[in-house]
Amino acid sequence: MKTWIPDARNFAYLNWKQVEALPKESTLLVLPTAAIEQHGPHMPLATDTLINNVLLGRALQLLPDEMPVYALPPICYGKSNEHIGFPGTLSVSSATFMAVLRDIGASVAAAGFRKLVLYNTHGGNASLVDVMARDLRAEFGLRTFSMFGSAGAVFEGLNPQERKYGFHAGELETAFLLATTPELIDTKAYTVNYIARIEDDTLLQPENGAANFAWLTRDIAESGVLGDPRPATAENGERWIASAAKQIAAALEAMFRYENNYKP
């Protein structure tokens, strides 16, 4: 699979003597979590993993060379049962996903490292990542951090409907891959589906509401798309990647510099 992680920031490219020599108290390790799942008829199964890789890779390029921040190999398989029923979706259970995070955290702690970032780009993993960040902190005393998607970057030019309800394979994700792997996008296969409309201000929401309803993609979209990919352009994709990378780099630097006095 393609990677944008700089070689010098790729933890798996180090040998054990190089790992042994790293400053364990300050080194920041980043564990990417994503998915292999359907992204409609126009995008590849690896969309979330590719986006994670390019955003993190571009962010790492912005950090000072002397700052010890490394990307661990990604966990490509996520809890994707919202997409079960679509060919190609490879999902693990919540218990399996959390067990893998726990065991990797145990290995990181056993090697003497103190700081671990869980960087997630798949919505189905989000609540589990939050749980595991706290559990790893409690069990191993790691300074753990969670970071999602663009780390709060604002994407200029994204319309309000897409910003709120373009959950999956919509304009943003399509633009990211048009800018990076255009050969993987079938622009003739775009479809449009939304789980809700912003003008429908109801109490029940699909996410982030006062009350939420559980949903499966098959409930809403036969094509598997939750959003509108049609306005996506490579130019916007490049601009939005740069914005996200800057925000992620700033967050990583803040995590690197973070200290507290509590030690279990």
pLDDT of 34: 98
Is residue 158 a contact partner of residue 218, using CB atoms and an 8 Å limit? no
| CA gap 203, 226 in Å, rounded | 20
Q: pLDDT digit string (tens) for 106-122?
A: 999 999 999 999 999 99
pLDDT of 221: 94
Sheet arrangement for strand 28-33: 69-71, 28-33, 115-120, 143-148
Mean predicted lDDT score pLDDT of the chain: 96
pTM (global) more than 0.85: yes
Cross-strand pairs, 147:
119
| CA gap 231, 175 in Å, rounded | 9
Task: Give CATH for domain 9-257.
Answer: 3.40.50.10310
Q: Model confidence at 186, in pLDDT bands (50, 70, 90)?
A: very high
Domain boundaries, the chain: 9-257
Is residue 69 a contact partner of residue 63, using CB atoms and an 8 Å limit? yes
pLDDT above 70 for 37: yes
Contacts of 136 (CB under 8 A, 6+ apart): 101, 102, 105, 109, 116, 142, 144
State mean pLDDT over 139-154. Answer: 97
